[in-house]
Structure 1
């Protein structure tokens, strides 16, 4: 017989995870990008038509690839894109290391460490990136023997390292204080607590702002064209100086940047959904 006086079993409450809400974000982003770019293209086309501009889109594919008697060869824009991605990747890795060091110094509780971190942040955040680039290339370059590419990497890494340090600091501080107490209670040192407990949990808090910082860095890499680093923007300027196809080249360069940033945004949005913070 069934005991009617026994309490009914309780089922766990159903919780709604934020990750399910964010799945449509890439689609919305793509639609918004397409709408904006479509408006820009229409405005430029109308303006070019009023100027009597001679469109030469048929010449653009050769700057991505060409088939010659020697076989398949990459074009200038494809080579510039690879250089941009290489520059951005190295700079981002170095910026993350710099940002982590600065964030840990600021949270160390040491007077000297905190002062150095705050001084670094205030100096970098209040300096235009173009001025910082000139400082690395024209001032520090001759002293330490930096070439254009090295100076560009260091400039981007230092500038974005200052921004990333604040992202990392906020992510670390978002971890519940109880996690620190638990780590100390089982005999972990501060380094071990950071490595095994705090940093792995803080990743989910850092992903959204780090996404924006990656995209920001890729776009910022175009600034190195002022010192003639052979990346995507510099290649575009060189093509224009040879062909005078300003509209076609800049539209193409803009489209390439857009595709790269969209791929990054969609990829990291997937990671955000996978490691979403449950409330």
Structure 2
């Protein structure tokens, strides 16, 4: 492997990918960083920073082969196309193996195959594909993003209430930038992380009632959390315009949260990034500022 390894981040025009690139640039020369995107025009800002941008598409193995050439370490950010992730991720893993990539990092789901969340199946299958590939890998099992709840802020403040099915389940969410810093740290360090599985979550858990109370404090307006049975919450989401499959995913994920699927107390994330994870109130205040 090169003494100046080249690091590649897939999905670099996405929210997480951009943050990983920004984090890498704090310690890694831009000339060693490669970003892959589906549409080159969406990454001109990365090019302006000196990062090499290559076209890549999880559905096109030949394009992936070209994109991964000369890469020493690769971060495979999970596809956003739920239901198609397994073949897409296998395409990327196979291409990385053909290119001789020395370490593949993958953004998986907190607690992997033990998770009660329906999202787990595609992540578990991808982790299995990594193990079967024979390539060195590291698995970053990310918990929920604090930003996942930002869509509740405006309606919560308007109506004085938010709804869900998470019950008393504790949620150890962290900011997207926290997870990005962890991915960048692992990618920059390289071989010492090979074979590791990291359960990554925020330092402090909260219930959705806690979330509503924090929003109330930060915004200066009382917002309550109303817990609903899964079927009722799904019906509410459909009633406000979400497609039934999306409503089903969100409501069932909430039930998974009620069962502890989004909680972890190991503080592995803060140890990886060398600082505390972003507090809930800090994230809410930033979201309110826009």
TM range (shorter): under 0.3
TM-score by length of 2: 0.22
**Larger Rg computed on CA atoms:** 1
Structure with a larger share of its residues in strand: 2
Higher relative contact order (CA 8 A, sep 6+): 1
Structure with a larger share of its residues in helix: 1
TM-score by length of 1: 0.22
